[in-house]
Amino acid sequence: MNNLRAVVHRRALAGLAVAAAGALALAGCSGSGQGAATGSSAKLTSLSIMAPFLTTNAPAEGNEIQKALEKSIGVSLKINWVPNASYEDKTNITLAGDSIPQVMVIQGKTPGFVKNAQAGAFWDLTSYLPDYPNLKTTSPDVQAASSINGKVFGIYRARDTMREGVIIRKDWLQKLGLSVPKTVDDLYKIADAFTNDDPDGNGVKDTYGLIIPKWPGGIGSNSPYDAIETWFGAGNGWKKSSGGKLEPSFMQPEWLKAVQFEKKLVSDGLVNPDYATFDSAKWNEPFLNGKGGIIIDVQSRAAVLMSLLKEKDPAHYQDYIEITGNLESPSGTLNALPTAGYSGFLAIPKTQVRTAEQLRGVLAVLNKMNSPEAGKILNNGIEGQTYTVQDKLAVAVPGVSPTLKDDVSSYAQLGTNVTGFQGLLPKQASDYEQQMYDKRLKIQDSDLAHAVFNPAAPYVSDTYTAQGAQLDTIVSDARIQYIAGQIDEKGLTDAIARWRSSGGDAVISEINKLYKANSK
């Protein structure tokens, strides 16, 4: 991955509840590049799109945001808004019907989309996108991850690539004279001190170091365990072995060392005792209530905690939170855990867009939908109505109607940000909050240089598509059982062997066959 701001998805106006993810742009198609994209381009006067909305109501026809957007790109938009909860079903129904739009928001590499793409239902954009300056990604790792076996069937919608970090009780660090951790060994020492050295000063042994909830996802779902395992050098879901073969992270010796470290944290009493059942929806509570002192999660959780503390103790809320990024392994290397870097993509069905000339016409419009001008509309709304600009940052206009806020959030679903965030970042409510926000961005920028990407992310294994959820449960359940002391190391390795014999070896074979074919 490249520069963080080239791929991040930021909330451009926190006060407007904008789920900013897109940027639409002014620059036109170059039309002069080499390869499949070279050729004439149909000039469109309108573009039909199907997209989800996550708010209570869809944007009304003729709303102010769409008017501003259409004026910016010079094309009228016909948008079929679908409730997010039923979007996947609607996608399948639409593809099977006659009313297919020119552009569809696809929310991920679902089995249905993969099957349709491989069957030729969507345009392969791999050789076309380089001809469009605002669609040519500056983050090839993210584009590769969003591809299907190396072929790009959609313009990905960028999200924050580097989010992982460690959130710590600042007051406890100061009380015990401790510094922010740099390594996993530092993390252990701080967790031990937070558990055993009375960080709240009440004379009672009633605190613990790490707060870990029951994780809803399996192996490779960015849990605190996954973060630690990546820090140890086990890779991110998969890892390229010294022999050049791709293997699951849990087959690496570093993974076992990491899980042994996790087990030690638990057996030494440095983690909340109910870690296996603790509701993740209540993850903040022990931190806020002074029971636990460390959270390994996305750094934006620090902003949520800060807001809650500000409500609870407005005079001293700045005294409670410290943050840092990914931690070094015991050997001194920094292996940072990134996200996939995208959330779905904009795909172009061949049923409605039948020729290369028509395709280039659609891409020319999407290319216009990724510039600072259009991006500000999508991510911030309309200057003077929803936001003003101060110090090159967006400041929410007070009293904006909920409908207009929702509209901005909905239109952000159309954005891509493949060349960088096109909106304005939000100005924070106070100098301290701005300092913390800027600190987060600086940490993310620094960690991005050490990001460990999943080398298997582009590849779709048929066996994994059919059996992946059941296969991963074998290892994720065994990991928790081992950490809890319910099985020993042999039981853990036996579970990995069972994963392999139950279809895992077929997954490895299929992934490597695709990897080899795309590495030529």
Confidence of residue 22 (pLDDT cuts 50, 70, 90): very low
* Residue 53 pLDDT > 80: yes
* Residue 169 pLDDT > 80: yes
Q: Which helix (H) or strand (E) holds 257?
A: helix 253-267
* Residue 16 pLDDT > 60: no
* Residue 100 pLDDT > 50: yes
Which residues touch 473 (CB under 8 Å, ≥6 apart)? 218
Tell me the per-residue pLDDT of 306-343, one tens digit each, with 9 for 90 and over. 999 999 999 999 999 999 999 999 999 999 999 999 99
Domain positions in the chain are 4-160+340-427, 164-324, 462-518
Q: Which helix (H) or strand (E) holds 240?
A: strand 238-240
Strands (E), 84-180: 103-106, 155-158, 164-169
DSSP 92-117: HHHHTSS---SEEEE-S--HHHHHHH
Q: What is the pLDDT of residue 498?
A: 98
Tell me the per-residue pLDDT of 420-445, one tens digit each, with 9 for 90 and over. 999 999 999 999 999 999 999 999 99
Tell me the per-residue pLDDT of 386-409, one tens digit each, with 9 for 90 and over. 999 999 999 999 999 999 999 999
Q: Read off the pLDDT of each residue in 33-62 and give the average, rounded to a whole number.
A: 84
Q: What is the pLDDT of residue 9?
A: 34
Q: What is the pLDDT of residue 320?
A: 97
Cα–Cα distance measured from residue 248 to residue 507, given in angstroms and rounded to the nearest whole number = 10
Q: Read off the pLDDT of each residue in 342-353 and give the average, rounded to a whole number.
A: 96
* Residue 186 pLDDT > 50: yes
pLDDT averaged over the chain? 91
Confidence of residue 372 (pLDDT cuts 50, 70, 90): confident
Cα–Cα distance measured from residue 356 to residue 462, given in angstroms and rounded to the nearest whole number = 30
What is the Cα 135 distance to its own chain's centre?
19
Q: What is the pLDDT of residue 17?
A: 30
- Token reading at 477: 């359940």
* Residue 490 pLDDT > 90: yes
Q: What is the pLDDT of residue 213?
A: 97
Strand bridging mode 155-158 / 238-240:
unpaired
Q: What is the pLDDT of residue 8?
A: 33
Q: What is the pLDDT of residue 38?
A: 59
Confidence of residue 511 (pLDDT cuts 50, 70, 90): very high
* Residue 1 pLDDT > 90: no
Contact 132, 365 (CB under 8 A): no
CA atoms within 13 A on the CB side of 232: 23
Tell me the per-residue pLDDT of 444-487, one tens digit each, with 9 for 90 and over. 999 999 999 999 999 999 999 999 889 989 999 999 999 999 99
Phi, psi (5° rounding) for residue 393? -120, 155
Q: What is the pLDDT of residue 39?
A: 73
Cα–Cα distance measured from residue 2 to residue 40, given in angstroms and rounded to the nearest whole number = 32
What percent of the chain is predicted at pLDDT more than 90?
87
Same fold, 4-160+340-427 and 164-324: yes
Cα–Cα distance measured from residue 477 to residue 94, given in angstroms and rounded to the nearest whole number = 38
Q: What is the pLDDT of residue 216?
A: 86
Q: What is the pLDDT of residue 371?
A: 86
End-to-end CA distance of the chain: 21
Q: What is the pLDDT of residue 467?
A: 92
Tell me the per-residue pLDDT of 228-275, one tens digit each, with 9 for 90 and over. 999 999 999 999 998 999 999 999 999 999 999 999 999 999 999 999
Q: Among residues 459, 473, 495, 520, which one has the least CA distance to residue 147?
A: 459
Cα–Cα distance measured from residue 350 to residue 344, given in angstroms and rounded to the nearest whole number = 19
Interaxial angle between packed helices 356-368 and 64-73, expressed in degrees from 0 to 180 and rounded to the nearest 10: 120
Which amino acid type is present at position 166? V
Q: What is the pLDDT of residue 285?
A: 97
Q: Read off the pLDDT of each residue in 410-420 and give the average, rounded to a whole number.
A: 94
Write down the CATH number for the domain with range 4-160+340-427: 3.40.190.10
For domain 164-324, the CATH class is alpha beta
Q: Among residues 11, 23, 60, 72, which one has the least CA distance to residue 407?
A: 60
Q: Read off the pLDDT of each residue in 119-129 and give the average, rounded to a whole number.
A: 97
Q: Which helix (H) or strand (E) holds 347?
A: strand 342-347
Strands (E), 16-119: 46-53, 76-83, 103-106
Which residues touch 155 (CB under 8 Å, ≥6 apart)? 125, 129, 135, 345, 346, 366, 416, 418
